Structure 1
């Protein structure tokens, strides 16, 4: 079904929020993009290797994650001075890796996404990746018109950096600012999205890490679905087909 074939969302329709990485896309799309940006230049590779003892732990630790990610974004985008220019680089990356990226889109997830759209639900994607990246990838499967809220970037020191990371509580603040506060259903793989899952009337966990399944069962309402939509190295109950 083409994007034009979906009915416009009803004003009173349920609001459905999808995470992107490990939810609609098998993997971390932002990491794949930034790795490609860094690998394009041997000097960037060297700088990234030298910076990883500092940046790696920052990315792993929630309070410093935005700064760690910004460091890698800066290394990969050095020489890119405007957000529009960075978006064009993203579009080139997606076009050059179309087959590989297309294989990472999860058919079971896309079927659920399309079902909500066909029902006239209001659907939004909220992701820690740059929004242009998610939009470009969703364009492969006629969902490029779905609103996307993602990590904001801006120019700094001769490159671009993450200025606002769409992650954890900040993701909820960014959703509310755009008028997406009254959430009926939320789909996510990550414990970082517990604020989103708690805010939803019907949370759905998809493709969680095996080690996180018990935590989700403990902190989310009894009966919350914990599903696997096709990530082979992740947990959750397999979906038929």
Structure 2
């Protein structure tokens, strides 16, 4: 609704004579006529409001993109060079994609096969996963488990558990995690005990602090090189963005 009001004001400013805009200097009768002129114009030309809204939204999107580029630049080391995040895809790829993920997020689950498709199709993308649980206790439990697996059992087992957690139905309970851990022949008791360790807590706290600096409040959120992509993005669109970045 706010955009509609702003657009209406913009339309008025663009379509009425300049002298008519001195509202403070108008008499009551002139002010009433001014309002009537605005209303009549918008009733006769409603499409102008939609055009103004589209222009306004485009400008806001461009401003947001510029602000995001600055945020990414200010946090490059934490985004691309931290020592606690899992790195996959092509570790030597010319494009780095960072994903902030919550295992209980429906759009993260929808994005997962898209990311797999992207990595397979392109072959030159480095993927960094940031555990970012924001949707309740099940989200936190799932991330703690995944991080504990990485810290105790290595990157390969983390990837296997990561893929399983993103598809895990039902609650993220201890029995469910035990079954998952046992299925991959992991040191289950050690991992469950390590979930509440300071080492795991520090990873989650670090990722949340980074997300706050980047003004990320939802998942999935992606950072591809200099660009921030907020929300679900299909693989084809990511491929196009990657090619645009390579041509810069």
Which band: TM-score by shorter chain?
A: under 0.3
Specify the structure having the higher radius of gyration (Cα): 2
Higher share of residues assigned helix: 2
Q: TM-score under structure 2 normalisation?
A: 0.26
Q: TM-score under structure 1 normalisation?
A: 0.27
Higher share of residues assigned strand: 1
